[in-house]
Chains A and B, each alone.
Chain A
Amino acid sequence: MSKTEYPEEILQSLEGYDIDINDFIPGHGKGAKMLLDFNSIKGIEEIEGVIIKGKEIADGIIADVIIKEGVVIEDPVHLCFGVKKQSGTQRIFPRIIAEDNSEVTIQAHCSFPNADGLVHKMFGHFYVGKNCKFTYNETHYHGEKSGALVAPVSYMYIGENSIFENTFNLTQGTPGQVKILLDIYAMENSVIRSNVKAFGKSMGDSIRIRDSVFLEGRNARSVIKMKAAAKDGGEVLMYGITEGNAPRCNGHVECNEIVLGKGSICRARPFIRAIDPTSTVSHEASLGRFPQKWLDEVQSKGLTEEEATQILIEAMLGEK
């Protein structure tokens, strides 16, 4: 499969996220990959230790990814769930397994550059074994018409002594209607870091994200960081949920949201619960505008308040 066989528009939309598009092109880059155009599998490349299988079904794709036991992969595994057409329904059923002692980064990109009446739904199941280092980065681009309805649901099991890093990024383009639900179950001594960033830019953008971590194993630890901005009538609602259900577990939820322009709404609903007397769960949230001191500092370099706010939003949402 060559570059010309995969839609250029989808590849170009990756550039906004500072991703090397050559890594996505079949036959290029070192990483294993799977590329979809709407509900067709356009290409699969496996490497040693990584099994990728796909099956086309009505309105969607089943994608299985297995990282074999003890395999350490330096180059990311790329999953590109692109849709070139304007409308239709795409359902993705990823089933991802990282066997014990493996290390991998999975880079998923959901790119819908022409979305106008497009529905994308995902039902993902992730199993991460013991002593793994598993990173899952998901970036979204939904075009410029607020024309997508995107509703991914994922359940993740993170085994003993494993480190799981999750990054979800929806800051380019106009999101449209987005409803995300993520449940992470953390076993003994596991570490969870989840970073979510979203930017609602118009009246047509409504983003609801529910990130949950259930600390089920002794000494499990987690940090959820949710950052969002809403402008020109955009709406963002973020639920950060953490339950401390095991001895000595420790969880924290942090939510920062910036509201710009009349009619925009940001809401944060941290929900924390501890049922073990030795567990610790905390949350902090701030909504509204940036602290005046930050604005003053940037403005004292000669920027207007609007320019200063833009710089700070870029920093907040672009933060690695």
Chain B
Amino acid sequence: MLLELKNVTIPTFDQKCLIVNDVSFGVKEKSIHAVIGPNGSGKSTLAYSIMGLSTYKISKGKIFFDGQDITDLNVTERAKLGITLAWQEPARIDGLSVLKYLSLGMRDKTNIKEQAIEALKTVNMKPEKYLDRFIDESLSGGERKRIELAATIAMRPRLIILDEPTAGLDLIVIEDFLNIFNKIRALDMTILLITHREDIGMIADYGTLLWGGDDILTDNFAEVMLRYCAKAGLKAYCKRTLFQGDNACFGEDYIDKIFQEEQSK
């Protein structure tokens, strides 16, 4: 496993209650692993905690990266090991150019412009149009998200955490983003995909279902998605939309069985 969480518990800042409770799962190298769950289930908190942000400290458990205990490492140290995060709502910073922003995490500080151009092309942006612009309010939400993805790609990290990468985007660009995720995978990077959108998660190889801060299941993504639908009571959606056509990996009997299991709990 490239990333392994063992019994991770994350309290609120005032320590009065738990956002994530005793969560354990592993992420295989060069895979796309989705963490799904409804709003408030602790997905983003878990992402920030894996990244090592100081305001999301774990109170119990351990995090391992490539076998190394990184629980006590800060965000900078974790980034230097090859972990990074593409933010759900990346900041707009006046005066910071796209080129400079993309260069921040580059390990190889030669040929910076060429690397930046390559990263922008990977996220389907025209370098000549964006390199000299600032990452400020003049960028649309979609443009800023693509630049954030490009900045993480330019780092050549081993693990990219994508926090709700398609939140706020138009449906017409979702397909494009899915293609970009596949390009990232082709670059031998591992993706931990945080999402509450099942159509985005379907690109994942594996998944973990978080519910109320608890990890319910880690398995191949279709199984995890089915369990998510069963817990949410989305049977019709599950049968008519999610597991139809090319995605019809379960028989109706199996779907019914999982739903009955959840209803009986």
Q: Which residues of A contact B (CB under 8 A)?
A: 291-294, 296-305, 311-312, 314-320
Within 8 Å by CB of A298, from B53, B54, B104, lies: B104
A residues near B168, Cβ cutoff 8 Å: none
Looking at chain B's contact residues, the main secondary structure is: loop
B251 at the interface (CB under 8 A from A): no
Cβ of A285 to closest chain B Cβ, rounded Å: 15
Whose C-beta in chain B lies nearest to the C-beta of A317? B95
Interface size class of B (residues with CB under 8 A): 20 to 34
Q: How far is the CA of A120 from the CA of B52 in the complex (A)?
A: 50
In the complex the two chains form, is A302's CB within 8 Å of B104's CB?
yes
Which one of A293, A302, A315, A317 lies within 8 Å of B79 (CB-CB)? A302
Residue contact A302 to B95, C-beta cutoff 8 Å = no
Complex: how many Å from CA A314 to CA B94?
Answer: 10
Listed from nearest, the 3 A-B pairs whose CB atoms lie closest are A319-B95, A301-B105, A315-B95
Taking CB as reference atom, which chain B residue is nearest A298?
B104
Residues of B within 8 Å of A311, CB to CB, are: 96, 100, 104
Chain A CB within 8 A of B51 CB: yes
Contact string against A for B residues 63-91, beta-carbon threshold 8 Å, 1 for contact and 0 otherwise: 00000000000011001100011010011
Q: Min CB distance, A291 to chain B, in Å? A: 7
Which residues of the other chain, B, contact A312 by a CB distance below 8 angstroms?
A: 93, 96
Interface flag for B134 (CB, 8 Å)? yes
Contact status B90-A297, CB under 8 Å: yes
Least CB separation from B136: chain A residue: A319
Could you tell me the distance in whole angstroms from the C-beta of A307 to the nearest C-beta in chain B?
8
Does B15 lie at the interface of the complex (its beta carbon under 8 Å from any beta carbon of A)? no
CA distance A303 to B104 in the complex (A): 8
- In the complex, the answer to whether A316 meets B95 with C-beta atoms within 8 Å is yes
Rounded to whole Å, the gap between the CB of B263 and the closest CB of chain A is 41
Q: Could you tell me the distance in whole angstroms from the C-beta of B244 to the nearest C-beta in chain A? A: 38
User: B91 to A315, Cβ gap below 8 A?
Assistant: no
> What is the bound-complex CA distance between A297 and B93, given in angstroms?
11
B contact residues around A302 at 8 Å (CB): 76, 79-80, 84, 104-105, 155
Which residues of the other chain, B, contact A299 by a CB distance below 8 angstroms? 75-76, 79
**B96 CB contacts on chain A under 8 angstroms:** 311-312, 315
B76: A residues at CB distance < 8 A: 299, 302-305
- Cα–Cα, bound, A134→B126 (Å): 34
Residues of B within 8 A of A292 (CB): 54-55
Complex Cα spacing A312 to B94, Å? 9
